[in-house]
Amino acid sequence: MEITAAMVKELRERTQAGMMDCKKALVENDGDMDKAIAYLREKGLAAAAKKAGRVAAEGAVDSYIHMGGKIGVLVEVNCETDFVANTDTFKSLCHDIALQIAAANPLYINKEDVPAAALEAEKEILRQQALNEGKPEKIVDRMVEGRIEKYYKENCLMEQPFVKNPDITVGTLVNEATLASGEKITVRRFTRYERGEGIEKKQSDLAAEIAEMTKK
């Protein structure tokens, strides 16, 4: 199986292991992401992944209200101890994640949370789009896989570019917090409300608005 740069990048973000170690792990395991993570853990190379099996039952529920009540978010972020939950760093992380949800409106937390039926429906739409564009049948499937990665980045919280620093994903942000705190940190669930949701109205670039507010 061909090991792509995107696969190496994803493994690095999920484990914080070195680029070459990630590539070797994928090669050794024929591109299987879960087996590659296990391989890195066995070799002692996956710092964040070492904490994956630990229980994170403490933490906090945080909120973010945007533009005088236009958008509201509640998010639960978990860690392992009250000590970490009460630190300013953890509280800041929770607030940043709530802000991210307000700005980017994810539907799911992780790629694995996307229902199989929804994923297949999206793939079929993308396949038909590619065919309508006149793309050769033999390359359509590869194009669909590439466009599905874009779908994940738009709809899965952990895959989204972080609104305060688009050079990293939210998943990387959480991994960095895990490494810094020494505890497993996870986003468990969230709810996002938007005033007048479902009613036809003028749209605005919420991500841009929130990013601008954070600069002040």
The pair of three-digit structure tokens given for residue 135, joined into one six-digit string? 């793309």
> Does domain 58-111+156-214 bear CATH number 3.40.50.970?
no
Phi then psi for 106, rounded to 5 degrees?
-70, 155
Q: What is the pLDDT of residue 173?
A: 93
pLDDT tens-digit map of 93-115: 999 999 999 999 999 999 999 99
Give residue-wise pLDDT tens across range 139-175. 887 888 888 889 999 999 999 999 999 999 999 999 8
| Predicted confidence (pLDDT) per residue in 30-69, tens digit | 999 888 888 887 766 555 555 666 767 799 999 999 878 8
Measured between alpha carbons, how far is 179 from 63 in angstroms, rounded to an integer?
A: 24
Residue 189: other Cβ atoms inside 10 A:
11
Mean pLDDT of 209-213: 70
Q: Angle at Cα 99 formed by Cα 155 and Cα 97, nearest 5°?
A: 70
Task: Give Cα 7 to chain centroid, integer Å.
Answer: 15
**CATH annotation of 5-51:** 1.10.8.10
Tokens of 26: 């994928």
Q: Are 81 and 61 in contact (CB under 8 A)?
A: no
**What ranges do the domains of the chain cover?**
5-51, 58-111+156-214, 115-153
What confidence tier does 204 reach under pLDDT thresholds 50, 70, 90?
A: low
Residue 76 above 70 pLDDT?
yes
- pLDDT at site 114: 92
Architecture category of domain 115-153 in CATH: Orthogonal Bundle (1.10)
